[in-house]
A and B are shown apart, each in its own frame.
Chain A
């Protein structure tokens, strides 16, 4: 168990780097508490797996350092770092039994037979594998195999951190829920630091206390699920989290106020800096309301998802999506909308202006 600190971590798969695009990771700083559950969230190619492999020691970073409990482990290999990692698809040793699979990491570390036996049985029970312990691992279903991968990570009591690299990708949807709640339960039971990598916002938000959102090799925001939803610090977080994502439209800044569609909106912050190359207004569809006054829009399309209605409206700056409950009355042709002040944000060059 350990606290994890990443200091100014950068990585490039190329030997020479000329611009930002050559870096898979750029200046990542992280402080993770011992025993926390964290999620790394981002689309494919944002650098989250790279970051994970650097923490586990499978990759050596181009720059920066990794500390476990304030001890520099940057130069250590995965075995010396004492970490466990679960991969995207089940990795099992086909020719071994389930029992031997679970015992393998312990055997390699020279534990005694009795110690191994009690550990394996304990983990087998926790993952409900007891009845299949003596079967060939190759004969199990995909989720059974993934449980073995999971078990091989959990069986060692000395691990500093357990890392999951999109571990539920190959699992059937209904089993996803089961395994996900199992993971959450395990985390509470064994309280080890866990890092969960995913591109699925629901997985990240349900698993983690703190979610780290990554975009283009950078961390754009770290926060609780509620923080990410209510106050996205970067337009990418607004887009990526929530369904549908945040409405982000160009706006002007005049005397510290937002000028959108020729109307002055205030969001209780006065904007001082103005030399941005682009400024945008951001408002989640949940916080847009129909009103008698405000911005004039045309209703383009209404889609009913069962619980909600998503209304696409058009103003001269672009499309604004509105989320209402399914029973709400929708004006038919044109309407006026207002934004809830508290949840209206301005972004300068994609970063929030506060």
Chain B
């Protein structure tokens, strides 16, 4: 059968192309433009080549914030994934408990990020915050504004509170799509509860978990608003993650060139990591 060739259909792509050009391509190219030049304002530019890239890649400040970023992301993935799956496994499958659980789970996701930051800031204040005050009266020496360990603890707790629900909801959707026959067959085969999880539930959740890991990786790797409101990167540079550092460099010090180079490197790291995750997790899919 011959398909009719009609290239006019391309016209339909124009609006999308224009939109993407304005909100992604043009800003990105502006950043690329800055990253190769030096500017002192008034639209005067001077070509610098790859100088800013070299500077950033060798800068200890960048290494430190990148390291912090990786540790943070690693920790929250390590907590949120198992916790999210565990909660999803214990959620009811039918009855009035389903909507109640789903609504409770969605609530943290609906709260604006700066509100989350502000909430946790007040919640964790050592003198008047419920968390901070309780911890101190229990005998812990807790002060997230002054002790870096406490700042990390609070930031991670806040992120777990804010985002574990996403993993829960995705896992729950994955679990619910498993046909009852799988559980019945496992029961007949004499499988243990662990076997059911290991050989049925986990493989069937693979796709949603891949999605969960990708989303949680990207979001946590680019986290900005919540720690900005909660700790502002402090105390000192203890919670100064990549995005916070980037904004400080660009808007605080007005080093537009190095900041542009840094954001491009940042962008490429996120892209690369996502690609690595995705291809690792989808390795076997081609054969099915």
Contact = CB atoms under 8 A, between A and B. Distances in A.
Contact of B184 (A85, A108, A109, A138): A85
Nearest to B189: A105
The secondary structure that dominates the B interface is helix
17 contacts: A58-B184, A78-B188, A83-B188, A85-B184, A85-B188, A87-B184, A89-B181, A93-B199, A95-B199, A95-B203, A104-B191, A108-B189, A108-B191, A108-B192, A136-B284, A138-B288, A152-B189
By size class, the interface of chain B is: 10 to 19
A134 interface: no
Given A85-B185, A96-B199, A139-B287, A105 B190 contact: yes
A111 to B, nearest CB: 11
Nearest to A58: B184
A94 interface: yes
Nearest to B184: A58
B141 interface: no
Most buried by A among B190, B192, B284: B190
Contacts of B190: 79, 105, 108-109
B184 A139 contact: no
Interface in B150-209: 179, 181-182, 184-185, 187-192, 195, 199-200, 203-204
Contacts of A109: 190
A83 B185 CA distance: 11
Nearest to B191: A108
Given A108-B195, A136-B287, A91 B185 contact: yes
Contact of B185 (A79, A87, A96): A87
B188 A79 contact: yes
Interface in A82-130: 83-85, 87-89, 91, 93-96, 104-105, 108-109
Contacts of A139: 287-288
B255 to A, nearest CB: 50
A93 B190 CA distance: 14
Contacts of B204: 94
Interface string B129-151: 00000000000000000000000
A89 B189 contact: no
A215 B151 CA distance: 68
A139 B284 CA distance: 9
A210 interface: no
Contacts of B199: 93-96, 104
A91 B288 CA distance: 15
Given A93-B200, A108-B195, A138-B284, A88 B189 contact: no
Nearest to B187: A78
Given A56-B184, A79-B190, A85-B184, 12 more contacts: A85-B185, A87-B181, A87-B185, A94-B204, A95-B199, A104-B199, A105-B188, A109-B190, A136-B284, A138-B287, A139-B288, A149-B185
A103 B53 CA distance: 57
Nearest to B285: A138
Contacts of A85: 184-185, 188
A84 B185 CA distance: 9
Contacts of B185: 85, 87, 91, 149, 152
B132 to A, nearest CB: 46
A96 B198 CA distance: 11
Interface in A45-95: 53, 56, 58, 77-79, 83-85, 87-89, 91, 93-95
A138 B181 CA distance: 17
Contacts of A58: 184, 187-188
Most buried by A among B181, B184, B185: B185
A154 to B, nearest CB: 13
B191 A84 contact: no
A217 B223 CA distance: 59
